Amino acid sequence: MQKRTLGRSGLEVSALGLGCMGMSTSYGPPQEKREMASLLRAAVEHGVTFFDTAEVYGPLTNEALVGEALAPFRGRVAIATKFGFRLDPEGGPKWVGLDSRPEHIREVAEGSLGRLRVDAIDLFYQHRVDPEVPIEDVAGAVKELIREGKVRHFGLSEAAARTIRRAHAVQPVTAVQSEYSLWTRGPEAEVLPTLEALGIGFVPYRPLGRGFLTGKITETTSFDGSDFRNTLPRFAPEARRANQALVDLLARIAARKKATPAQIALAWLLAQKPWIVPIPGTTKRARLEENLGALEVALTADDLREIDGAASAIQVQGDRYPENLERMTGR
């Protein structure tokens, strides 16, 4: 397995990680626990050492799944989790707001340590920037947890460049996680140059466009009633029809490279910077193996120019989130 280091932090992980959210939430009913534990262990056997979860996934159940499945591999894997949402006090399945108060960060850390069955959280992200709490206070709270040995590395998710700089001045940021793929390229304008300047790693989530870039989803595909994609403007049938041009581009390159569209999409990401570590999610072993096959796909400079040139002529249709969720990004 190829390895990459997230920025100048020294956190070395597999070049592709595994996003675990879909095992417990968002893409239909939760998957069978035993099968998902088997998948997580298969990922380790294939060389994956970087796993992504969060308190809010489930909520709580995804951390517990990951913690139990990966317990035999302590010291061999890095687990990232996240804080920053306020969960329903009645125990409901939804979050009810943002909460990055220092005392709440500490509460979340203690809970996550128990569910993940670890002595220290390898990478602790703020899930979304809380406009009610100065980012300096957030960074300071995580700095204290690092000093106490309960957290090893600090991360931010969907933060703006200015926020990243302010946080990094208090506690060095190891990694920033944001959505990034051939159909979501917003980080290229300001975030990626900021990370390069500061020596911070980048972890693209949804690198396969929530499955769309695999070529397995068309305008006629229907989703389970509980599937989060039903609420996303970019997954409206008319948007999927328009965005098919991007999948067709990937398919053309894939045919030439004897690869799949998913592998080309991931190989493109890996080729952008040596400190980028995508975390595609899956609930199927065959897809896990397909995604890892992207590491064997070599895109030449000519290939990359061809992909960028063709992609720049395609206007992606539909917002990636509903308005209320989009407002939580880029702060």
Which residues does the annotation mark as catalytic? 57
Between CA 189 and CA 187 the distance in angstroms is 6
Examine the pLDDT at 89 and tell me if it is beyond 90: no
- Cα 23 to chain centroid distance, Å, stands at 14
Per-residue pLDDT, 90: 78
Between CA 172 and CA 298 the distance in angstroms is 33
Query: Are 83 and 55 spatial neighbours (Cβ–Cβ below 8 Å)?
Result: yes
pLDDT tens-digit profile of 171-200?
999 999 999 999 999 999 999 999 999 999
Count of positions (residues) in the chain: 331
Per-residue pLDDT, 137: 98
The whole-number average pLDDT for the span 43-67 is 97
CA distances from 203 to 18, 177, 227 (A): 11, 5, 24
CATH number for domain 3-326, candidates 3.40.50.2020, 3.40.190.10, 3.40.50.1860, 3.20.20.100: 3.20.20.100
Mean pLDDT score of the chain: 96
pTM of the model: 0.96
pLDDT tens-digit profile of 140-153?
999 999 999 999 99
pLDDT tens-digit profile of 6-47?
989 899 999 999 999 999 998 988 999 999 999 999 999 999
Examine the pLDDT at 93 and tell me if it is beyond 90: no
Token code pair at residue 138: 């957030």
Examine the pLDDT at 92 and tell me if it is beyond 80: no
pLDDT tens-digit profile of 274-326?
999 999 999 999 999 999 999 999 999 999 999 999 999 999 999 999 999 99
The whole-number average pLDDT for the span 151-167 is 98
pLDDT cut 90: percent of the chain above it: 95
The whole-number average pLDDT for the span 157-175 is 98
Per-residue pLDDT, 9: 87
Query: Are 151 and 105 spatial neighbours (Cβ–Cβ below 8 Å)?
Result: no
Examine the pLDDT at 80 and tell me if it is beyond 80: yes
Give CA angle at 16 (253, 141), nearest 5°.
135
The whole-number average pLDDT for the span 95-116 is 97
Query: Are 198 and 165 spatial neighbours (Cβ–Cβ below 8 Å)?
Result: yes
Give CA angle at 24 (152, 286), nearest 5°.
95
Question: What is the pLDDT confidence band of residue 136, given thresholds at 50, 70 and 90?
Answer: very high
Per-residue pLDDT, 55: 97
Question: What is the pLDDT confidence band of residue 261, given thresholds at 50, 70 and 90?
Answer: very high
Between CA 211 and CA 206 the distance in angstroms is 8
